[in-house]
Structure 1
């Protein structure tokens, strides 16, 4: 999968320019990373994961700094995203921004996905999740970049309006954690657990803040143009399995159909079906697997009711969801939640848990 996932070079150009301002020999970093410097002169250039990993590792080695992800996050603003950034600026409020970015997040990076939804109380949850395996150093660089960039852009949109919200980052608190405290009123929480990612929870006051340059017609036009760019289709059968899983996982409500995914990738549904069968999968099997993986995660880690989880996963009602969950997992959703809650509580209370 790594060869199929790319990142626009324009983001590392921001970091390179900042490093230059700090008198760092960025030409040496590029040489050590084996990256053609000419890539940084083309606005449409992209980097593959090994190039990103090499740049990050060598930049850290040469500077001795562990906060480069934090620094890059501070540099990213709406106009850093080319066409999509101007669409963000044209939205009416931050809720619309989050929905537009979710639809086109692959234009920012293909190494993470983004999901966004609002609960019945109006709170919005945004979740960023890696799509590929990567070294721990690279992963933490990405997590810091995403967390800080999200906050930096929201703060730019809020202006003087203020507004606090929470950002949860799945990594240990870094040595420079005091820099996060200085970003108040945003509250950053570091959680050393898996799965890795960044989760942002914002309330209605932030999400419904009106933006000064709203233009509904321009936003609609840019949304359509971003949609036409599309994500490059996977190349191998294994990549198709992973891509379908990722697409189903980031969907809210009813899962996209095979025909819809085929249309978005400009291939036939028979082509995708053929790739899946080579890996001994069917589209329906993948949909069901991902649905119930998500169901288990939501039952363990969210305060949503069974009915709310059923709606998020595209079931018509909680009764249908409960029956399907019991067939797949062996117990009803409520029993699964009680069981996992008891295990978690027992683990946290026992200072010497059994090994093995």
Structure 2
């Protein structure tokens, strides 16, 4: 079956269901509640739509009562879980080459995220960013799974001691932070990234070490197959949904069209054209999400008007007040009074 960029490979989540089933969870009931047939998650080459994936995360969380499912899932994913791409990574000559390979074909294992690999003079960065529109719970689950599994797989790939390195994630420190302290030698920094995503900073010394399972002939065969699969991927991303999600989930500022285009490694003009083809305009999306976030923050009543203005990317409180009044017909302070704050 050819991969489809709009659907999620089900094999990873089937393994999570199996794990929770051994703990006594009624997985059949969970799948029914998520409107998923068993063959849609356990069948050969099974995939889930984004709606099904979000429903599955929601129902598993409710049924298990656990908030650490993304972490749990991340520790279950092995390199062999990625099929031909995992085989290519295993037979790479160095970690540096393996990371280049993974970033090039990352969509084969996770169509909802993009992986970038940036090689610096002394250290290098691995960056994960969402490219599929997801609700907050599903996004958090998937991001946590991505960073934890990346750490586990790098350790298993090297099969020797690694130097201490940092992982910077956008989500807040969880209640089960003690789980993360066991992921040595990684040191996690929570709430660090302004945009949804994560960044790993690795020493170049670790990247250049030869890997124990390197095999030129096997690597060449696996790479050729990965190239065939990635070329067959159906580009069905809805850019309007993605832009809306990134704006809604961003903190400490409000990204511009140019900044969003940079996340996608394309020009602002290209992104603008993609939005236009979908009948959208960046300014309209930005204005709507800004207003939604402004109302939510004012209703919460935990921040001053000036703090909210800064968080939404305004340089002056007066500019925020004028923009808010244009949309709502009243000033931010008047709106707070109406809400009883």
Same fold, TM exceeding 0.5?
yes
- TM-score, length basis structure 2: 0.69
Q: Is contact 1:102-1:115 (8 Å) kept?
A: yes
Q: 1:81 and 1:4, CA in 2 relative to 1: closer, same or farther beyond 3 A? A: closer
Q: Is contact 2:41-2:48 (8 Å) kept?
A: no
Alpha-carbon distance in 1 for matches of 2:279, 2:36: 38
Q: CA deviation at 1:279?
A: 5.8
SS in structure 2 at match of 1:171? coil
Alpha-carbon distance in 1 for matches of 2:178, 2:76: 18
Q: Is contact 2:132-2:237 (8 Å) kept?
A: no
Q: CA deviation at 1:276?
A: 8.2
Alpha-carbon distance in 1 for matches of 2:275, 2:18: 43
Matched, 1:226 2:226: yes
SS in structure 2 at match of 1:161? coil
Q: Is contact 1:115-1:250 (8 Å) kept?
A: no
Matched, 1:19 2:47: no
Q: 1:131 and 1:158, CA in 2 relative to 1: closer, same or farther beyond 3 A? A: same
Please list every run of 5 or more consecutive structure 1 residues that lacks an aligned counterpart in the other structure.
257-273, 282-346
Q: Is contact 1:237-1:278 (8 Å) kept?
A: no
Matches within 5 A, 1:35-114: 35-114=36-115
Matches within 5 A, 1:182-201: 182-191=182-191, 193-201=193-201
Q: CA deviation at 1:177?
A: 0.6
Higher relative contact order (CA 8 A, sep 6+): 2
Q: Is contact 2:118-2:124 (8 Å) kept?
A: yes
Alpha-carbon distance in 2 for matches of 1:163, 1:235: 38
Could you list the runs of 4 or more consecutive aligned residues of structure 1 that deviate by over 6 angstroms after TM superposition? 235-239, 245-248, 274-277
Alpha-carbon distance in 1 for matches of 2:58, 2:142: 12
Please list every run of 5 or more consecutive structure 2 residues that lacks an aligned counterpart in the other structure.
245-257, 268-272, 281-309, 321-341
Number of residues paired by the alignment?
Answer: 266
Alpha-carbon distance in 2 for matches of 1:49, 1:175: 27
Which deviates the most, 180-189 or 204-213?
204-213
Q: CA deviation at 1:162?
A: 3.1
Q: 1:181 and 1:236, CA in 2 relative to 1: closer, same or farther beyond 3 A? A: closer
- TM-score, length basis structure 1: 0.67
Q: What is the CA RMSD across the aligned residues, in angstroms?
A: 3.4
Matched, 1:213 2:213: yes
